[in-house]
């Protein structure tokens, strides 16, 4: 039981890591990115390619994948999302849904529908003991990464001039422009950060379990649920939301694995009923 | 300094500003008055770069800036205090001023000067801007524009929704700004305050100029006629 809770907390960190980019894109640009989970899966496939192509271990693959993901995010914002956001409330949802389908099909064509997983080597299998519990190094590293990334993002937004301009732009883009803020680069950076964190989370998910071109859907749903349970617009809330998801999943799995994911969705509906999301 | 030539601006089919011209000089205040819907805000937004005009031009020191985006105009010294304040609600007072400072020109204004101007702001600088009263928010909105050290300050309905006493206090600031050589273009529905500080007044009715000149050259009846579009005399 305690072991399940601890495992849940650790996995929850990774859920929060996927979710923070989704929350950021929504909070700053009002972009509901349906392709967020698929972009995370792309991160895992890119790491796979880096491993196959250069024999790069996952940690080294990060150095390649993260800047690339940032660039892709920025480019998507400047070419696609920006226009979609001008097209009313529904347009971004439709456009990113389309992007999701495109990514899935490209992945199937390029990498086949077979489930894959990232090989983390000995590290991914090893564990260590704390107070009678055996913890996986990989999951612990995933959790630590999530905390560091969310913490850094929080500091970036709260303490730096760039973060201040991001928050100002989120509040009122027109007023931000009147203060001399160039809104397009700000949005491009935020989209870049969002996709880079998704790719990072995707790599951890790929190390922890198998993935295929269609894994993005469930990842997206988990990310949505973490954001909603944790409360919109707060990074620490997102972390808490991810942890609640992870713990619920692990506890229910103790009882019956088949209901683990279902339990998470039920919890999500419960939260929505008690505390509806306000825009 | 700032010149607007035969500027027209539309909202879809509706022409909100109709071939309007005006010019602003350093150290002078120019008041644009007119009823609700006359096109005053659209005019200011077009000058600030937020609303692309359909025709006509905006010149700063003789240079055509009609197609420049607002963020570039800020660096040239044109700052708009928008209608309804438009503060960054989740940011503190101080952060609002710091965002205003982002592309600031060199000059005397910085947050410290704003706190000297409104001493009560200093104590409240760590509070979210959304917690301030309307008058306080207007002061922060003015401060946010001032710290960019504008040469041309555009003020859209300073008095909107504020108590007369607060409005008077805010207007008492203007002569001090004009002394520094700043040009001020102010837009008002509330005519009396604007007429007192402005050296020129221009009345808008449905996007067209119905009267223009020095405030003291007009009788209240003439202003009223131009404001409401009453036909007291032939054009
Ligand atoms: N965003 C908008 N969309 C459509 N019409 C608008 C918009 N903003 C203003 N208008 C119209 O343009 C005209 C001028 O408005 P505005 O410039 O706000 O006037 P004022 O500031 O003098 O009250 C009005 O008829 C108003 O209804
Ligand atoms: Mg107006």
| Count of the separate structural domains present in chain B | 1
Whether A217 and A107 have beta carbons less than 8 Å apart is answered as no
CA–centroid distance, residue B206 to ligand 1 (Å): 10
CA distance B235 to B233: 6
Q: Tell me the residue range of the domain where A40 lies.
A: 2-274
Q: From the CB of B40, is ligand 1 less than 6 Å away? A: yes
How many domains is chain A built from?
Answer: 1
CB contact residues (below 8 A), chain B span 33-52, against chain A: 48-50
Contacts of B88 in chain A (CB under 8 A): 167-168, 171-172, 175-176
For residue B235, the CA-to-ligand 2 centroid distance in Å is 26
CB atoms within 10 A of CB B163: 12
The reply to whether B204 falls in a domain is: yes
Could you report the predicted ipTM of this complex, rounded to two decimals? 0.92
Q: What is the CATH number of the domain that holds B209?
A: 3.40.50.300
**Within a domain: B133:** no
Distances (CA, A) of B86 to A8, A179, B70: 43, 11, 15
**pLDDT of res. B235:** 45
A279 lies in a domain? no
Provide, as residue numbers in chain B, all residues whose Cβ is less than 8 Å from the Cβ of A178: 48, 50, 70, 74, 79-80, 82, 86, 145
Confirm if A198 and A38 have CB atoms less than 8 A apart: no
Candidates A206, A213, A13; CA nearest to A119 is A206
CA distance A88 to B46: 23
- Closest to B85 (Cα-Cα) out of B162, B149, B195, B30: B162
Q: Closest residue of A to B50, CA-based? A: A174
In a domain, B102, yes or no: no
On whether residue B54 sits in a domain, the answer given is yes
Q: What is the pTM of this model?
A: 0.92
The half-sphere exposure of A90 on its side-chain side, counting CA atoms within 13 A, is: 0
Ligand 1, atom 3: nearest CA belongs to which residue? B11
Taking an 8 Å cut-off on Cβ atoms, the answer to whether B71 and A183 are in contact is: yes
* Per-position pLDDT tens, chain A of length 279: 888 899 999 999 999 999 999 999 999 999 999 999 999 999 999 999 888 888 778 778 888 899 999 999 999 999 999 999 999 889 999 999 999 999 999 999 998 889 998 887 777 778 888 888 888 888 999 999 999 999 999 999 999 999 999 999 999 999 999 999 999 999 999 999 999 999 999 999 999 999 999 999 999 999 999 999 988 778 889 999 999 999 999 999 998 888 988 999 999 999 888 887 664
Residue B9's domain comprises 2-85+151-228
CA-based max dimension of chain B: 57
Q: Does any domain span residue B107?
A: no
In a domain, B108, yes or no: no
- Which residue's alpha carbon is at the smallest distance from atom 26 of ligand 1? B37
Asked whether residue A197 is assigned to any structural domain, the reply reads yes
A173 Cα: distance to centroid of ligand 1 (angstroms): 19
Phi, psi of B27, rounded to the nearest 5 degrees: 75, 10
Cβ under 8 Å to B: A residues 155-184:
161, 164-165, 167-168, 170-172, 174-183
Residue B176 lies in a domain: yes
């Amino acid at each position: 039981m305690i072991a399940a809770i601890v495992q849940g907390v650790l996995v929850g960190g990774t859920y929060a890591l996927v979710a923070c980019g989704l929350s950021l894109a929504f909070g700053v640009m009002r972009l509901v990115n349906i392709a967020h989970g698929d972009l995370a899966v792309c991160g895992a496939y890119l790491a796979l390619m880096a491993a196959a192509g250069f024999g790069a271990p996952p940690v080294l693959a990060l150095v390649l994948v993260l800047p690339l993901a940032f660039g892709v995010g920025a480019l998507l914002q400047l070419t696609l999302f920006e226009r979609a956001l001008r097209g009313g409330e529904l347009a971004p949802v439709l456009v990113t849904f389309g992007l999701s389908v495109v990514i899935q099909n490209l992945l199937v064509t390029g990498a086949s529908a077979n489930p894959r997983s990232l090989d983390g080597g000995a590290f991914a299998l090893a564990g260590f003991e704390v107070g009678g519990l055996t913890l996986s190094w990989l999951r612990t590293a995933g959790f630590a990464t999530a905390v560091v990334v969310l913490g850094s993002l929080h500091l970036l937004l709260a303490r730096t001039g760039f973060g201040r301009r991001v928050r100002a732009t989120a509040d009122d883009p027109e007023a931000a422009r009147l203060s001399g803020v160039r809104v397009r680069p700000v949005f491009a950076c935020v989209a870049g950060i969002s996709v880079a964190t998704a790719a990072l989370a995707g790599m951890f998910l790929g190390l922890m379990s198998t993935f295929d071109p269609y894994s993005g859907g469930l990842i997206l749903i988990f990310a949505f649920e973490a954001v909603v349970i944790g409360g919109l617009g707060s990074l620490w809330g997102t972390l808490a939301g991810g942890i609640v998801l992870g713990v619920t999943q692990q506890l229910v799995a103790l009882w019956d694995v088949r209901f683990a994911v279902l339990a998470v969705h039920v919890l999500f509906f419960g939260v929505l009923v008690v505390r509806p999301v306000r825009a | 300094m700032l010149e607007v030539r035969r500027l027209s601006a539309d909202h879809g089919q509706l022409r909100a500003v109709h071939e309007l011209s005006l010019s602003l000089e350093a150290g002078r205040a120019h008041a644009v008055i007119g009823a609700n819907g006359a096109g005053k805000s659209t005019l200011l937004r077009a000058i600030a770069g937020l609303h692309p005009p359909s025709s006509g031009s905006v010149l700063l020191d003789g240079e055509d800036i009609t197609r420049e985006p607002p963020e570039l105009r800020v660096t040239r010294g044109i700052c708009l205090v928008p209608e309804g304040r438009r503060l960054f609600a989740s940011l503190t007072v101080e952060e609002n001023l710091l965002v205003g400072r982002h592309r600031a020109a060199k000059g005397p204004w910085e947050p410290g000067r704003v706190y000297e101007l409104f001493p009560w702001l200093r104590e409240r600088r760590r509070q979210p801007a959304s917690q301030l009263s309307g008058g306080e928010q207007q002061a922060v909105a003015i401060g946010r524009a001032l710290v960019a050290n504008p040469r041309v300050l555009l003020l859209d309905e300073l008095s909107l929704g504020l108590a007369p006493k607060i409005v008077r206090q805010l207007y008492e600031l203007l002569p001090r700004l004009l002394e520094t050589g700043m040009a001020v273009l102010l837009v008002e529905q509330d005519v009396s305050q604007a007429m007192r500080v402005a050296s020129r007044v221009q009345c808008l009715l449905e996007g067209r100029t119905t009267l223009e000149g020095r405030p003291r050259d007009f009788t209240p009846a003439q202003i009223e006629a131009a404001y409401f579009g009453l036909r007291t005399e032939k054009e």
